[in-house]
């Protein structure tokens, strides 16, 4: 049994005429101890998918229209609020994008970490365990940091505190929602390094949400690419990066600047991600796709297994540019 299995998840916002489907038939699987990266541009629905794992997308305004989210075989979407509180921060812990805004400004960081311990490991809800956790995430002189308020720490330190808080319950799954986006580049590298160490040390599974393909290769076992509320490609990280099958993944990889080659200008994908509720007909990527054919605007392609371990939502994944010539 996989640790996490999302089946055909559908989440909508709004009602009546202005319904926006932020996640449309998302399916994912994550084995214990493995790392899956969910990649996509802003607005592709990756954060909504990640938050829904512990049913953290507030409903209303959201509606969980359909699908299942199985955590160790139990459907999160059918859980009572008491069961949800147990898995939130227990089985599944979260680290968010902006550590400065995700820590409560009026409580000392020691108290905030201890709160997590109280909920999930009350027997060790003490300063000694908080200090151990702060050491684990690489905060120097943790004893003197207990009484700090969040605003007294740097962004990198705040994100380490968030990590310590997430690890307090010894979760089996850590969901990191763009954990480095708000940080300086040098700090980003440190946090990614720390995530990799912790994963190895603690053996937990990690679901890393990012729009930065550059960090995916470093960390992930598998990668899933999201576009306009759908998964468009899924496969082992090495293969996806070396030989992307979906035109969107190909475009994403081309837009990652490389340091060792000189380029005149950066490659960008023309256009923007369509807003939920305003998806184009047929393949949702076709207006921006360099390889689009006339029939791409007609039929909506399914996510289908095209090779062992590899899935793509493009009927022309095998189509070569020179096939037409």
Give contact residues for another protein (rule: CB under 8 A): 51, 54, 56, 81, 85-90, 93-94, 96-98, 101-106, 115-116, 119-120, 149, 151-152, 162, 165, 169
Q: Which is nearer to another protein, 119 or 300 (CB)?
A: 119
* Cβ at position 191, least distance to another protein in Å: 17
163-199 burial, b if ≥16 CB within 10 A, otherwise e? bbbbbbbebbbbbbbbbbebbeeebbebbbebbeebb
Q: How far is the CB of 82 from another protein (least distance, A)?
A: 9
The residue (of 111 and 187) whose beta carbon lies closer to another protein is 111
For residue 169, the minimal CB distance to another protein (Å) is 8
Q: Least Å distance between CB 94 and another protein?
A: 4
**DSSP SS3 for 141:** coil
Task: Give the long-range contacts of residues 261-270, CB within 8 A, separation 24 or more.
Answer: 269/41
DSSP per-residue letters across 262-305: --SS----SS-PPPTT-PPSSSTTTTT-TT--GGGGTSPPP-EE
Nearer to another protein, 45 or 89 (CB): 89
Shortest Cβ 202–another protein spacing (Å): 18
CB of 217 to another protein, least distance (A): 28
How are beta strands 35-39 and 222-227 bridged, if at all? Answer: parallel
CB-nearer residue toward another protein: 126 or 305: 126
- Strand positions, DSSP E, the chain: 4-13, 20-30, 35-39, 62-71, 74-75, 92-95, 173-177, 205-210, 222-227, 230-236, 304-307, 310-312
For another protein, which is the closer residue by CB, 45 or 235? 45
- Taking the least distance from each CB to another protein, the nearer of 51 and 198 is 51
């Amino acid at each position: 049994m996989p640790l996490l299995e999302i089946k055909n998840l559908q989440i909508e916002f709004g009602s009546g005429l202005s319904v926006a489907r932020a996640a449309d038939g998302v399916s994912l699987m994550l084995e214990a101890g493995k790392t899956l990266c969910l990649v996509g541009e802003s607005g592709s629905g990756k954060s909504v998918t990640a938050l829904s794992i512990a049913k953290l997308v507030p409903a209303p305004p959201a509606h969980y229209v359909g699908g299942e989210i199985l955590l160790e075989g139990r459907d999160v979407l059918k859980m009572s609020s008491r069961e949800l509180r147990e898995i939130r921060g227990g089985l599944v812990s979260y680290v968010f994008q902006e550590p400065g805004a995700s820590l409560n400004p009026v409580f000392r960081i020691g108290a905030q970490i201890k709160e997590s311990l109280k909920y999930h490991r009350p027997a060790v809800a003490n300063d000694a365990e908080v200090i151990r956790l702060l050491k684990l995430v690489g905060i120097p002189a943790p004893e003197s940091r207990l009484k700090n308020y969040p605003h007294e720490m740097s962004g990198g330190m705040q994100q380490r505190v968030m990590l310590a808080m997430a690890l307090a319950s010894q979760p089996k799954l850590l969901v990191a929602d763009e954990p480095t986006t708000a940080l300086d580049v040098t700090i980003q590298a440190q946090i990614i390094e720390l995530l990799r160490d912790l994963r190895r040390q603690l053996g937990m599974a990690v679901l890393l949400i990012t729009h930065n393909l550059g960090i995916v290769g470093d960390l992930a076992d598998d990668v899933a690419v999201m576009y306009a509320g759908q998964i468009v490609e899924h496969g082992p990280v090495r293969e996806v990066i070396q030989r992307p099958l979906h035109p969107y993944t190909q475009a994403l990889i081309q837009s990652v600047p490389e340091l060792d080659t000189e380029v005149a200008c950066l490659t960008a994908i023309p256009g923007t991600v369509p807003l939920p509720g305003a998806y184009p007909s047929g393949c949702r990527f076709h207006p921006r796709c360099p390889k689009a054919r006339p029939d791409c605007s007609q039929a909506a392609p399914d996510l289908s297994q095209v090779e062992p371990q590899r899935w793509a939502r493009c009927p022309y994944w095998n189509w070569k540019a020179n096939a037409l010539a």
